[in-house]
């Protein structure tokens, strides 16, 4: 019995490694949005997609390299015709989950008279970064992203420009 049970447990554990690390619960915004983007890509889908990335295309080549460390990509992004399409509480529900001890906010940004707000959170487990959360909001746009795995943030930001994040904090010490 023991080998079977261990296998089942191991499989369950492996299955969760790439799983989304926090819940979005934002599907209801799709009906109000003028445009929405919704993607859930686990490890096998990322590996499958990687086979179709053309290394002769500079962007696709960069992404192909990035995918190596990524185990899952989960993004929901909404555009609204008018401000007020989503409520602050919608984002707060997500942010509350990131207050768990394994998450720490590494950078936050407000601009445009505080109308644009972007937060980047990192998930630390046993001294390693195992995921990143991005919460981005503007009056007519809302994006929530969870990238699971060892994310090369600098290379990722390269897709739109260079990036120099402050050093990621060490895993919080257990009290």
Which residues bind to another protein, rule: CB under 8 A? 35, 37, 39, 41, 45-46, 48-53, 59-60, 63, 66-67, 73, 75, 77, 107, 109, 111, 116, 118, 120, 134, 136, 143, 145, 147, 153, 156-165
> Could you give the C-alpha distances from 33 to 60, 79, 175, in angstroms and in order?
29, 5, 44
Query: At its nearest, how many Å lie between another protein and the CB of residue 63?
Result: 5
Give the number of C-alpha atoms closer than 13 A to the C-alpha of residue 173, restricted to the C-beta side: 1
Residue entry with tokens 């980047």: 120
Min dist CB 32 to another protein, Å, is 17
Residue 6 vs 35, nearer CB to another protein: 35
Round to whole Å and give the CA distance between 155 and 160.
Answer: 10
| CA separation for the pair 65, 174 (Å, rounded) | 34
User: Of 26 and 66, which has the nearer Cβ to another protein?
Assistant: 66
């Amino acid at each position: 019995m023991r080998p079977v049970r261990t296998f089942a447990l191991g499989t369950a554990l492996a299955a969760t490694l790439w799983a989304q690390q926090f819940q979005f619960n934002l599907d209801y915004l799709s009906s109000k949005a003028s445009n929405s983007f919704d993607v859930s890509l686990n490890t096998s889908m990322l590996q499958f997609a990687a086979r179709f990335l053309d290394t002769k295309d500079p962007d696709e080549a960069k992404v192909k390299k990035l995918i190596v460390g990524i185990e899952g990509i989960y993004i929901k992004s909404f555009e609204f015709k008018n401000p007020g399409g989503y409520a602050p509480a919608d984002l707060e529900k997500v942010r509350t989950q990131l207050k768990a001890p394994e998450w720490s906010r590494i950078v936050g940004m407000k601009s445009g008279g505080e109308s644009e707000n972007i937060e980047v959170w990192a998930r630390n487990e046993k001294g390693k970064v195992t995921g990143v959360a991005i919460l981005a909001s503007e009056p007519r746009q809302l994006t929530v992203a969870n990238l699971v795995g060892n994310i090369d943030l600098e290379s990722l930001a390269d897709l739109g420009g260079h990036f120099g994040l402050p050093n990621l904090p060490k895993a919080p010490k257990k009290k």
